[in-house]
Amino acid sequence: DVYFRNIEASTDSFKPLFVSTSATASVIAWKGHFYIDTNEGAPHHQIFKASIDNPARNNWRLIVPERQDTTVQTMHLAGGRLVLVLLKNSASRMEIRGLDGNLIRVVPLPGIGQVSELNGREDQGEFYYQFESFTIPPRIYKVSLSSGRPAIWAKKIGRAHV
């Protein structure tokens, strides 16, 4: 369950945003809106946008519909954009979307593998993520939101144990 309250109004009590015994949700609050990633009625997840001033469920607007062949694993906010980590055919994909849900670009990954540890700030023009696969050791990439191009930021150096 997800509850919220206005921290600027000390008399406000917590109000429900998402209550379910059978579904999950993750929520990002940013500049007057909630961005809600949920599997309610959508096993592969879908993303809604709701006004903080009027967050009743019937006022939510679907901005990223469910896709039958792709699951939203995580949703992040970086540089005023939504960054989605997706799973398709057991491999990660990554998309940068506007706050209206429109696709801006697909982030090219170095191969078939897994994305983890995505980090970025809401007001910064880049984000970082870790990528690894059977043939690529864990590396941290930096992505510019303006270009969408990843560059290796750090890589683990070590010996292989056989």
Q: Please give the mean pLDDT across all residues of the chain.
A: 92
Spatial neighbors of 134 by CB under 8 A, at least 6 apart, are: 113
Residues 69-73: what's their mean pLDDT?
97
Q: Which residue has the higher pLDDT, 12 or 148?
A: 148
Cα 159 to Cα 136: distance, rounded to the nearest angstrom: 14
pLDDT at 12: 78
Sign of the dihedral through C-alpha 138, 140, 91, 21: positive
Q: What is the pLDDT of residues 17-28, one digit of tens each?
A: 999 999 999 999
Nearest-angstrom CA–CA distance, 125 and 77: 11
Band of residue 11 on the pLDDT scale cut at 50, 70, 90: confident
**51: three-class secondary structure by DSSP:** strand
Which residues does residue 30 pair with via DSSP β-bridges, in sequence order? 33
Tell me the C-alpha distance between 125 and 55, whole Å.
28
Asked which of 10-24, 96-110, 121-135 is least confident by mean pLDDT, the reply is: 10-24
Contacts of 80 (CB under 8 A, 6+ apart): 99, 122, 123
The answer, yes or no, to whether residue 69 has pLDDT greater than 80, is yes
Mean pLDDT across the stretch 123-134? Answer: 94
Residue 67 and residue 44 in contact, taking contact as beta carbons nearer than 8 Å: yes
- Enter the pTM of the model: 0.90
| 59 phi/psi in degrees, rounded to 5 | -100, 0
87 pLDDT tier (thresholds 50, 70, 90):
very high
